Amino acid sequence: MMMKTTPFYPRLNELNQTGLYGHWSGYLSAPRYDLSAKHEYFAVRNSAGFFDSSPLHKYRITGPDAERFLAGVMTRDVRRCRPGQAMYTVWCDEAGYVLEDGVVFRHADDDWLLTSAEPNLGYLDSLVGRLQVSIEDVSADYGVLAVQGPRSRAILGKLAPEVNDLAYFGLTPAKIGGAPVTISRTGYSGDLGFEVFVDADDALGLLDKVIQAGDGQGFRPFGEDALNMVRIEAGLSLIGVEFSSARYAFTDAERFTPKELGFGWMLGKEGGQLGEARPFIGRRAIERELREGTSRWATVGLWVDWQEFEQLHLDRGLVVPKDENPVPWESMLYGGTGRDERVGYATSLMYSPVLQRHIGIARVLPEYAAQGSTVHLEITVDHEYLTVPATTDRLPLYNPARKTGSSVELAPISYRMEQ
């Protein structure tokens, strides 16, 4: 199959100093534009960067029964999502295992857009039944430009003043250079950020205007490598890393419930025995899990003991590694004094440049989920498996006030760290 290119590709390709490309849903996607992904990372954390999210699958869901349809499919109660708002959610199979996650954008009472990383058109179509709802794949019709970082509001505000008053997970129509767009205060960086949806034919003109608005502010494109770094700090799950779709799993060990993935907050009263019942796929299984306490795992943040980590290397005459590139494998976690019992694993592990600690997203046995619990992370030093202490914490580990705040001024970074 010939690789496709996004509407922004012609301009972004000119900015790509590496010439490197991977693929995402059949589209060329740059892992990085600069020779070092850390340069792009610091642009997002200190100023702003822009990322091409166009390969996301996009489904327009319309009709008088659109809300009823989505409320019966999505685990989170999307009826609470009003026109002009967006909502992050997951959807499950009948056994209560997560199929995928995505964001719903509600443009009107009967007009919604759903984005997802994997294709879902056939699955959604199979659930329509007699409901008056239409599902259209509009993935190729729009470019999506994510503008993320503390200066993202100031940059976009030059072009679309509507963003200055846009609430967290709000969306608004606007015009940039005469091109109609929809801007949402959403993103995958865990920072102040926005996503701009634009017709494919208008994408290049929009990108040029956004780049021009950010001139002189350290504004630059960032690729998947930097995105992976910021999303780990923000505690954001990635399909294929933090979880795999239950649709493709061979065993239950590869399947996870919303509660196990740290999405218990999505359930609220809907997931238990309280409140008015809302039928949705997987509800009975999720209720049973919550009622009987059968969750196998809990998802937590992980702080690695930096002193112990350094000492393990210094004792062997080694330079202490502080690699911001996330390790591409699961790292085992043990209880007791080191290797007594496996109690979980880190799905994502990296050295965070802004937090200046090795951190992770981890899946642990429920009894180790309490904030401040001690586990032992398996690492390799001098070709030997060793363990280093780590403590669990709530996610996200990086959570600047500006992410959800209303102030236009740059807010100080706030995060939790052991002293």
> Quick one: pLDDT at residue 220?
98
> Quick one: pLDDT at residue 333?
97
- In a domain, residue 195? The reply is yes
Residue (of 294, 300, 293) closest to 343 by Cα position:
300
Q: Does residue 214 sit in the same domain as residue 320? A: no
Q: 20-62, pLDDT tens digit by residue?
A: 999 999 999 999 999 999 999 999 999 999 999 999 999 999 9
Q: 80-99, pLDDT tens digit by residue?
A: 999 999 999 999 999 999 99
Residue 100 neighbours by CB distance under 10 Å: 21
Q: Does residue 302 sit in the same domain as residue 215? A: no
Residues in the chain: 419
Give the SS3 label for residue 150: coil
d(CA 64, CA 68): 9
Residue (of 134, 132, 112) closest to 124 by Cα position:
134
d(CA 365, CA 131): 41
> Quick one: pLDDT at residue 415?
43
Q: Which DSSP category does 398 fall into?
A: B
Q: Does residue 51 sit in the same domain as residue 170? A: yes
* Band (272; pLDDT cuts 50, 70, 90): low
- In a domain, residue 155? The reply is yes
Question: How many structural domains compose the chain?
Answer: 2
| Range from 13-27, 147-161, 258-272 carrying the lowest mean pLDDT | 258-272
User: Please, what is the average pLDDT of the chain?
Assistant: 94
Q: 289-333, pLDDT tens digit by residue?
A: 999 999 999 999 999 999 999 999 999 999 999 999 999 999 999
Q: Does residue 308 sit in the same domain as residue 176? A: no
d(CA 346, CA 361): 6
Q: 163-219, pLDDT tens digit by residue?
A: 999 999 999 999 999 999 999 999 999 999 999 999 999 999 999 999 999 999 999
Farthest-apart Cα atoms in the chain, separation: 69
> Quick one: pLDDT at residue 271?
54
> Quick one: pLDDT at residue 340?
75
Does position 419 have pLDDT exceeding 50, yes or no? no
- In a domain, residue 145? The reply is yes
Strands 98-108 and 57-62: unpaired
CATH of the domain at 208: 3.30.1360.120
> Quick one: pLDDT at residue 114?
98
Q: Which DSSP category does 323 fall into?
A: -
How far from each other are the two terminal CA atoms of the chain, in whole angstroms? 53
Q: Does residue 47 sit in the same domain as residue 175? A: yes
> Quick one: pLDDT at residue 412?
45
- In a domain, residue 355? The reply is yes
Contacts 24+ apart (CB under 8 A), 367-375: 368/298, 368/300, 368/333, 368/335, 368/343, 368/344, 368/392, 369/298, 369/300, 375/302, 375/333, 375/334, 375/335, 375/343, 375/344
CATH of the domain at 336: 2.40.30.110
What is the rounded average pLDDT of the residues 127-154?
98
What residue type is 4 in one-letter code? Answer: K
Q: Does residue 218 sit in the same domain as residue 302? A: no
- In a domain, residue 389? The reply is yes
What is the rounded average pLDDT of the residues 389-418?
76
> Quick one: pLDDT at residue 182?
98
What is the rounded average pLDDT of the residues 248-258?
96
Query: What is the percent of the chain where pLDDT is above 90?
Result: 92
Q: Does residue 24 sit in the same domain as residue 148? A: yes
Tokens of 288: 């049973």
Q: Does residue 199 sit in the same domain as residue 321? A: no
What is the rounded average pLDDT of the residues 351-369?
97
Beta-carbon contacts of 317 under 8 Å, excluding residues fewer than 6 positions away, are none
- In a domain, residue 90? The reply is no
> Quick one: pLDDT at residue 2?
77
Does position 414 have pLDDT exceeding 70, yes or no? no
**Domain endpoint, select from 206, 222, 238:** 222
Does position 134 have pLDDT exceeding 70, yes or no? yes
User: Residue 25 is part of which domain span?
Assistant: 9-56+140-222
- In a domain, residue 107? The reply is no
Q: Does residue 307 sit in the same domain as residue 191? A: no
* Band (336; pLDDT cuts 50, 70, 90): confident
**Domain endpoint, select from 200, 222, 244:** 222
Q: Does residue 196 sit in the same domain as residue 304? A: no
- In a domain, residue 413? The reply is no
> Quick one: pLDDT at residue 273?
52
Q: Does residue 203 sit in the same domain as residue 333? A: no
* Band (270; pLDDT cuts 50, 70, 90): low
> Quick one: pLDDT at residue 268?
77
